[in-house]
Amino acid sequence: MKQGVLGKLVGNTGDPAKLTMVVTNSFAVRRGEFVRIVHQERPDEPAAAVLARVTRMHRSNILFNAGFGDGVTELELLPGASVTGEHLYAHLELVGYRDPLSRQIRIPRRPLDPGAAVETVDFQFLADFYQFDEHTSLHLGNLVGYERGENTVPVYIDVNNLVTEHLAVLAMTGSGKSYTVGRIIERLVALNNGTVVVFDPHGEYGRALAGGRLTFAEPNDIDDPRERESLAQIRAMLERLQAADAGVVVHTPQQDTFRYKYAGKNRQLALQFDRFEMDEVTEILPGLTEPQQRVLDVALRFWRQADKTEPRDINRLRWLLGDGMDELKGWDELTDAEANALSSRSAAVASMKLNRVLNEAQSFYSATMAEPTDIYRMIGRPSNRQGRLVVVDLQGLSDTAKQVVCALLSSEILRAAASKHDPLRPCFLVYEEGHSFAPADGKAVSHRVIKKIAGEGRKFGVGFCIVSQRPSKLDADVTSQCNTLITMRLKNPDDQRFIAKASDMVSKADLDELPSLSTGEALVCGRSIPAPLLVKVGAKALVHGGESPQVLRIWDSFHE
């Protein structure tokens, strides 16, 4: 197919991020669209089409020059007169070309030819260039500028690289980040049969099981029959999984409000405190002095030995740190140093701090509960062939309590996944409001374990997604481990600078694009995609993710 010529390259063609073309007319091309330039890299190789993206446009006219002042408002052209002195330039950034031998996307190392024709591209060229594997990839949406009609170009992201090499979704409030995460996770569960765990601080994702039943969206404006078919497939698969005691499963603290929200279909968290190591306990009880840590350590060890049968009641530990101190001091396995160091005052302070955390979190096992939380039932083993979306609804808890539950569950998941004799099935953890769980200043109970998952999780099949509207407040070590980056509208200069420092995947032209993105549009780059792309995110099947309330509809609902 013969390509239409949009213009020609001019000026210095040695910088692949700063190419300039003279455009034939003002309707030829728009910012964000793709173009191609035929280029020969070596004399013994055939010419190849190099893909480029329009990053900026510049248009001026000598007759309407700002230097002329107010006088230009009086200027009128005679009918039929041609406008002269018009300059129209487009600035390009190279995406690259397909190497004929390796089939990898490469940036030319030889400057393109000045005067070379810049041509249009069609959807078939783009689809062939990116070569997405639909069988191992997830359909995120369609290429911006090619998102509807016959020229639709679907964009896929590689599931293995996405899950095992971590993901960051960064955007300002209202730009569609939770919606994007919602589309990704429901497809991982329904189409890839995966396990996803969402730490949901505001109860947004739990809306998918509101009232105890799966709640599906009803999108009416989807023209693409392929998209409608995939949404119907997701819906049918989730219903099948739900009937098999999988699908969408919500875990909550032990509060009656959650039972009402989910019509009793939620599962109450009942974490076994005796399962946690002393370093994890000191993380969730910051500020313990050495004597307080010592008495708590002795109490934990005695509790595990004296109560042989699991699960162990957390109230037993509380008793040991109070009225049961005499029993603790009489333990025959204590060393003389430990016995002399046991202080009722230290025990009382440690007990007070422990009680505060237990009462705020309301997520620990006691004898009044039917059964403790089983991490293997929650996540599944490799032999379990049922995908599930596990939502940990933390709405209404204090920030510290949210971090405690997140930290302890994440630790249990990583520890079980690393087991040599009984590992978990691979899973993907989603940390919504990630700046609260892994802040830049490190002042969060959950901070250490998330950094550990970022560094070690891949080896054990535990990936994570960090989601935030304030990237500059995130821990840079955590985001630097994310090898896929989805960035939506961001206007804060601090956040843009943070992204530039934390990731080498985003170019200056990409950063300049972020403030002008529309809701639902995203810049996707990293290991799970061949090259950076602007994507219009597709629709969701489930009702979940953050959505603003329709306040006018609520305010206007009462009429006398």
Average pLDDT on 153-159 reads: 91
Q: What is the pLDDT of residue 553?
A: 66
pLDDT at residue 100, rounded to an integer = 77
The winner for highest mean pLDDT among 82-96, 214-228, 279-293 is 279-293
pLDDT reading at 2 higher than 50: no
Q: What angle (nearest 5°) sits at the alpha carbon of residue 402, between those of residues 397 and 406?
A: 150
DSSP one-letter string for 415-481: HHHT-SSSPPPPEEEEESSHHHHSBTT--STTHHHHHHHHHHGGGGTEEEEEEES-GGGB-HHHHHT
The answer to whether 394 and 363 are in contact (CB under 8 A) is no
Provide the percentage of residues in the chain whose pLDDT is more than 70.
92
Contact 35, 6 (CB under 8 A): yes
Residue-wise pLDDT tens digits, 341-373: 788 899 999 999 999 999 999 999 999 888 999
Q: Whole-angstrom distance between the N-terminal and C-terminal Cα of the chain? A: 67
Please name which of 351, 356, 352, 355 lies closest in space to residue 296, comparing C-alpha atoms. Answer: 351
In the DSSP assignment, the letter for residue 121 is -
Query: Where residue 85 falls among pLDDT bands split at 50, 70, 90?
Result: low
pLDDT in tens, 107-143: 999 999 999 999 988 878 887 888 777 788 999 999 8
Statement: the pTM of the whole predicted model exceeds 0.85: yes
Q: What is the pLDDT of residue 51?
A: 93
Q: How many CB atoms lie within 10 A of CB 58?
A: 11
99 pLDDT higher than 80 = yes
Question: What pLDDT sits at residue 77?
Answer: 55
pLDDT score for 1: 39
Residues recorded for the chain: 560
Q: Return mean pLDDT, the chain.
A: 88
Confidence of residue 30 (pLDDT cuts 50, 70, 90): confident
User: Pairing mode, if any, of strands 521-526 and 5-10?
Assistant: unpaired
Predicted local confidence at residue 356, as pLDDT: 94
* Banded model confidence at residue 287, pLDDT cuts 50, 70, 90: confident
**Cα–Cα–Cα angle for 326, 330, 333, nearest 5°?**
140
Query: Which H or E element spans position 259?
Result: helix 256-261
The reported pLDDT for the residue numbered 408 is 94
Q: Using one digit for the tens of pLDDT, what is the confidence trace for 254-277?
A: 999 999 999 999 999 999 999 898
Q: Which is more confident, 428 or 222?
A: 428
Res. 525: pLDDT tops 80 = yes
Q: Which of 37-51, 122-136, 386-400, 420-434 has the lowest mean pLDDT?
A: 122-136
Q: What is the pLDDT of residues 432-468, one digit of tens each?
A: 999 999 999 989 999 999 999 999 999 999 999 999 9
Q: In the predicted model, is pLDDT for residue 477 greater than 70?
A: yes
Query: Where does the pLDDT of residue 552 fall: very low under 50, low under 70, confident under 90, or very high at 90 and above?
Result: low
**Alpha-carbon span 404 to 394, nearest angstrom:** 11
pLDDT of residue 454: 94
User: What residue segments make up the domains of the chain, in order of their start?
Assistant: 5-121, 137-269+373-555, 273-361
Cis peptide before 493 (omega within 30 of 0): no
- What's the pLDDT at 75? 56
Structure tokens at 340: 């002399």
- Look at residues 224, 221, 225, 158 and name the one whose alpha carbon lies nearest to residue 192: 158
pLDDT tens by residue, 508-523: 777 878 888 888 999 8
> Which CATH number does 137-269+373-555 carry?
3.40.50.300
Q: In what order do the strands lie in the sheet with 521-526?
A: 154-158, 137-143, 533-537, 521-526, 484-487, 167-170, 462-468, 427-431, 195-200, 388-393, 247-252, 267-268
Given the DSSP bridges, would you call strands 247-252 and 462-468 parallel, antiparallel or unpaired?
A: unpaired
Read off the pLDDT band of 558 (50, 70, 90): low
Angstrom CA distances, 442 to 51, 95, 277, 283, 447, stand at 42, 37, 21, 12, 6
Residue 499 gets which letter from DSSP? H
